[in-house]
């Protein structure tokens, strides 16, 4: 059936349309409450002057449709298909793994706060989101200083014989040692919840009342405890500024520059602005479609959904989207476009944040271009070093030998391109042979086809390391495929006749040149090269230590009676390190797949005996 015939027979019902190019590849997926009206609007005889429509229509060769019963179902189907096919001209919003929240399960005995990446519908309370792990840790630290709740998993706490260090510095009430009653601990939890809900002022009033009551009844120790809590809370409450009257809401603002869209999301919790998040997107269609697609994808993947979401413009299908988000949340959600008052000012503020973020991104990109051009010029490179890779080897006398490869794109770490290499073919301490193995694996045909070639490769060392690496590259037929330099660390030297200590400059060696290039110390160019080298070194050592740790825990588990291959693998996967396994209690070991109470007890007792061999010898002597 031709495209014209499909347009004539387009059904007048809700659904999803999939636009394909001449090669049959899906280039755009959209949803509509009336497929006939929406799809035909792209091809209206009167023509559409909007650039984005002309841009898309020129590439459409075929259209498929999928019918749904309601517009809400069309929203769900559109979201699923976009994530499945990743069309070129749709908003491809990847899972935001940098969102963090505080989780509190009040059904747990002696509840504690912990930081999680995603919220779940598991009956626990979630607070946030926070834009980074450091922001979430700062809030958690603040809570722990004000409300001395436990820090560790309950099984770990109960396995202790005495209170932990946090109790000694006043940041844990030691419920594991029965130093606080369940009721008193519950009051601390309730206070922490009220504080995170933005009810700090009500909390201050409540704690003042409790302090006065305890003082009048001559319970001075309890009064002092409420007084100490009050002091720490009042300082924080004074810094909080109310921007709305109660309730949770997210405020969305945007700024556009051609096909670049910057979205700013402000988080308001209980009337207090507590954070923001910036999204940098590429979008060729209209603004309203971008915002609708963003809301659908962002809030349906474990993100916190507030009572209200304030928008900068009207979007199509707002009712259906609000209904969908209400279903996901289990509580009513409103999508509003305020036109006056405080909420309108907040939307305007979010838009200003988005515009400022886009300007900052442009300024950073301009400075990166200047930096890369300086590197190209000073190091006489054949190409601009947009993609820089660095490789390092870590080993101890030829054991647990590993290689690492790190990648920086436009001066920033591209961690998804980082690679570990377990050395397989080299025995003994031969760093150059190990580097040859790493290079042969990184630059084989299938790897190059998948990841491409770097513009610049850095090796750690002086002229000797550079020349040896150059031989490896020539052996692999990679000469002139990318630039190569080595970076020699600065060295500390002491004059025998004096107490003066001097440090040599870091030097960059180039192929075919005996004398090094000395970049200005602490210059951005040198700092970038040093940061890449140090990152490769860190990444290699981290993997090396992990292998050594796993070897240690594996050999220890192998000595435990009654532990077979399946349980050994399960314990390794669950705990990951010997220290974590030794600190675990019987209950935590029992929860590992394949374990039961009796075996968990045997593992625990064996590990405690291993950790305290002197006590084991005493026990055997008594027997």
Q: Which tens digits make up the pLDDT trace of 199-245?
A: 666 767 777 887 888 888 888 877 886 777 676 566 555 455 556 66
Q: Is 611's pLDDT higher than 50? A: no
User: Are residues 64 and 28 located together in one domain of the fold?
Assistant: yes
User: Are residues 432 and 348 located together in one domain of the fold?
Assistant: no
Peptide bond connecting 129 to the previous residue in cis, omega within 30 degrees of 0: yes
| β-sheet with 100-104: strand ranges across | 113-116, 100-104, 125-130
List the Cα angle 505/507/511 in 5-degree steps.
Answer: 165
Name the DSSP class of 69: S
Q: Is 219 part of any domain? A: yes
Across 32-36, 115-119, 426-430, least confident range: 426-430
For residues 143 and 194, give the distance between their C-alpha atoms in angstroms, rounded to a whole number.
11
For residues 250 and 271, give the distance between their C-alpha atoms in angstroms, rounded to a whole number.
11
Which of 239, 261, 296 finishes a domain? 239
User: Are residues 283 and 226 located together in one domain of the fold?
Assistant: no
Q: Is 265 helix (H, G, I), strand (E, B) or coil?
A: strand
Give the CATH number of the domain where residue 346 resides: 3.30.420.10
Contact 491, 504 (CB under 8 A): yes
User: Are residues 182 and 260 located together in one domain of the fold?
Assistant: no
Q: Is 258 part of any domain? A: yes
Q: Is 409 part of any domain? A: no
Report H helices in 217-339: 220-239, 287-299, 318-329
Which of 470, 499, 524 finishes a domain? 524
List the Cα angle 274/278/282 in 5-degree steps.
Answer: 160
The pairing of strands 100-104 and 125-130 is: antiparallel
Q: Is 619's pLDDT higher than 50? A: no
Q: What mean pLDDT do residues 245-261 have?
A: 87
User: Are residues 221 and 267 located together in one domain of the fold?
Assistant: no
> Can you give the pLDDT at residue 615?
38
User: Are residues 519 and 575 located together in one domain of the fold?
Assistant: no
Mean pLDDT in the chain?
A: 81
Residue in 114, 193, 107 with CA at minimum distance from that of residue 153: 114
Residue 519 pLDDT class (50, 70, 90 cuts): confident
Q: Is 431 part of any domain? A: yes
Q: What mean pLDDT do residues 106-122 have?
A: 83
Residue 267 pLDDT class (50, 70, 90 cuts): confident
Q: What mean pLDDT do residues 501-514 have?
A: 79
> Can you give the pLDDT at residue 241?
54
474 phi, psi to nearest 5 deg: -65, -40
Q: What is the pLDDT of residues 21-51, one digit of tens each?
A: 889 899 999 898 889 888 888 877 555 445 5
Contact 294, 287 (CB under 8 A): no
> Can you give the pLDDT at residue 132?
67
Contact 288, 50 (CB under 8 A): no
Contact 487, 480 (CB under 8 A): no
Q: What is the pLDDT of residues 87-105, one digit of tens each?
A: 888 887 765 445 678 888 8
Q: Is 397 part of any domain? A: no
| β-sheet with 26-32: strand ranges across | 26-32, 15-20, 62-67
User: Are residues 474 and 444 located together in one domain of the fold?
Assistant: yes
Q: Is 526's pLDDT higher than 70? A: yes
Which of 475, 507, 524 finishes a domain? 524
Across 65-74, 106-115, 170-179, 427-436, least confident range: 427-436
> Can you give the pLDDT at residue 399?
66
Q: Return left, alpha or beta for 594; rule: phi > 0 is left, psi -120 to 50 is alpha, else beta.
A: left
Give the CATH number of the domain where residue 611 resides: 1.10.150.20
Q: What mean pLDDT do residues 11-21 have?
A: 91
User: Are residues 352 and 442 located together in one domain of the fold?
Assistant: no
Burial-class residue 457 by CB neighbours within 10 Å (0-12, 13-18, 19+).
buried
> Can you give the pLDDT at residue 434?
84
Q: Which residues contact 66 (CB under 8 A, 6 or more apart)?
A: 15, 16, 17, 18, 77, 81
The two tokens of residue 461 are 């060392």
User: Are residues 267 and 332 located together in one domain of the fold?
Assistant: yes
> Can you give the pLDDT at residue 548?
66
User: Are residues 280 and 189 located together in one domain of the fold?
Assistant: no
Q: From the CA atom positions of the chain, what is the Rg in Å? A: 31
Q: Is 554 part of any domain? A: no
> Can you give the pLDDT at residue 18?
92
Give the CATH number of the domain where residue 439 resides: 3.30.420
Q: How many domains does the chain have?
A: 5
Q: Which domain holds residue 254?
A: 249-359
User: Are residues 228 and 268 located together in one domain of the fold?
Assistant: no
Q: Return left, alpha or beta for 45; rule: phi > 0 is left, psi -120 to 50 is alpha, else beta.
A: alpha
3-state percent breakdown (helix, strand, coil) of the chain, nearest 5: 45, 20, 35
Q: Is 473 part of any domain? A: yes
Q: What is the pLDDT of residues 162-186, one digit of tens each?
A: 888 888 888 888 888 888 888 889 8
> Can you give the pLDDT at residue 50?
52
Q: What mean pLDDT do residues 356-363 have?
A: 90
571 phi, psi to nearest 5 deg: -65, -40
Residue in 83, 93, 82 with CA at minimum distance from that of residue 16: 82
- For 54, 128, 245, 328, 376, the CA distances from 336, given in Å and listed in that order, are 31, 21, 16, 18, 51
For residues 572 and 513, give the distance between their C-alpha atoms in angstroms, rounded to a whole number.
50
Q: Is 489's pLDDT higher than 60? A: yes
Q: What is the pLDDT of residues 536-577, one digit of tens each?
A: 989 888 877 777 666 655 566 667 776 777 787 787 777 766
Across 190-194, 274-278, 351-355, the highest mean pLDDT is recorded for 351-355
Q: Is 101 part of any domain? A: no
User: Are residues 204 and 303 located together in one domain of the fold?
Assistant: no
Q: What is the pLDDT of residues 384-413, one digit of tens each?
A: 999 999 998 887 665 678 888 999 999 999
Q: What mean pLDDT do residues 268-294 have?
A: 84
- For 374, 375, 511, the CA distances from 515, given in Å and listed in that order, are 19, 17, 10
> Can you give the pLDDT at residue 532?
93
Give the CATH number of the domain where residue 40 resides: 3.40.1440.10
Q: Is 565 helix (H, G, I), strand (E, B) or coil?
A: helix
Across 158-172, 448-462, 581-595, the highest mean pLDDT is recorded for 448-462
List the Cα angle 521/526/528 in 5-degree steps.
Answer: 140
Beta-bridge partners for 310: 251, 336
172 phi, psi to nearest 5 deg: -150, 135
The two tokens of residue 352 are 């200003």
Measure CA of the first residue to CA of the last residue in the chain; give whole Å. 89
Beta-bridge partners for 387: 409
């Amino acid at each position: 059936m031709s495209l014209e015939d499909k347009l004539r027979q387009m059904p007048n019902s809700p659904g999803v349309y999939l636009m394909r190019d001449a090669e049959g590849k899906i280039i755009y997926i959209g949803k509509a409450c009336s497929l006939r009206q929406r799809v035909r609007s792209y091809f209206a005889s009167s023509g559409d002057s909007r650039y984005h429509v002309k841009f898309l229509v020129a590439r459409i060769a075929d259209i498929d449709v999928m019918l749904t019963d309601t517009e809400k179902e069309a929203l769900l189907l559109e979201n699923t298909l976009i994530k499945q096919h990743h069309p070129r001209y749709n908003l491809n919003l990847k899972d935001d793994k940098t969102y963090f929240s505080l989780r509190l399960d009040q059904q747990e005995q002696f509840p504690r706060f912990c930081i999680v990446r995603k919220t779940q519908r598991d009956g626990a309370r979630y607070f946030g989101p926070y834009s980074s792990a450091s922001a979430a840790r700062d809030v958690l630290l603040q809570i722990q200083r004000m409300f001395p709740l436990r820090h560790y998993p309950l099984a770990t706490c109960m396995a202790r014989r005495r209170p932990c260090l946090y109790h000694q510095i006043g940041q844990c009430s030691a419920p594991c040692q029965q130093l606080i009653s369940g009721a008193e601990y519950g009051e601390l939890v309730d206070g922490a919840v009220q504080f995170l809900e933005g009810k700090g002022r009500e909390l201050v009033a409540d704690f003042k009342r409790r302090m006065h009551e305890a003082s009048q009844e001559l319970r001075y120790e309890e009064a002092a405890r409420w007084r100490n809590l009050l002091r720490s809370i009042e300082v924080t409450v004074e810094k909080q500024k109310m921007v709305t009257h109660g309730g949770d809401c997210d405020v969305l603002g945007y700024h556009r520059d051609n096909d670049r869209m910057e979205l700013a999301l402000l988080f308001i919790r209980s009337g207090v602005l507590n954070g923001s998040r910036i999204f940098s997107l590429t979008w060729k269609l209209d603004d309203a479609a971008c915002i609708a697609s963003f809301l659908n994808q962002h809030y349906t993947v474990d993100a916190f959904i507030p009572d209200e979401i304030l928008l900068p413009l009207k979007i199509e299908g707002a009712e259906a989207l609000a209904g969908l988000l209400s279903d996901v949340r289990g509580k009513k959600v409103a999508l509003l476009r305020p036109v006056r008052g405080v909420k309108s000012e907040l939307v305007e503020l979010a838009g200003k944040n988005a515009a400022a973020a886009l300007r900052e991104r442009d300024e950073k990109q301009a400075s990166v271009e200047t930096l890369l051009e300086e590197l190209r010029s000073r190091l006489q490179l054949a190409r601009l070093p947009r993609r820089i890779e660095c490789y390092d080897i870590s080993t101890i006398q030829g054991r647990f030998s590993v290689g690492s490869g790190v990648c920086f794109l436009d001066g920033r770490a591209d961690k998804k391109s980082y690679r570990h290499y377990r050395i397989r073919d080299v025995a003994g301490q031969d760093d150059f042979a190990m580097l040859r193995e790493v290079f042969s694996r990184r630059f084989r045909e299938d790897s190059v086809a998948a990841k491409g070639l770097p513009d610049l490769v850095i090796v750690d060392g002086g002229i000797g390391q550079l020349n040896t690496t150059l031989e490896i590259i020539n052996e692999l037929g990679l000469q002139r495929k990318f630039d190569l330099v080595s970076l020699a660390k600065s060295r500390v030297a002491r004059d025998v006749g004096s107490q003066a200590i001097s440090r040599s400059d870091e030097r960059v060696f180039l192929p075919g040149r005996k004398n090094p290039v000395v970049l200005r110390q602490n210059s951005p160019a040198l700092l970038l090269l040093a940061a890449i080298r140090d990152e490769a070194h860190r990444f290699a050592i981290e993997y090396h230590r992990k292998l050594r740790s796993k070897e240690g825990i594996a050999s220890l588990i192998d000595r435990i009676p009654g532990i077979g291959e399946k349980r050994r693998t399960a314990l390794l996967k669950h705990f990951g390190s010997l220290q974590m396994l030794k600190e675990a209690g019987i209950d935590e070991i029992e929860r590992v797949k394949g374990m039961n109470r009796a075996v968990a007890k045997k593992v625990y007792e064996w590990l405690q005996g291993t950790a305290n061999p002197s006590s084991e010898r005493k026990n055997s002597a008594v027997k």
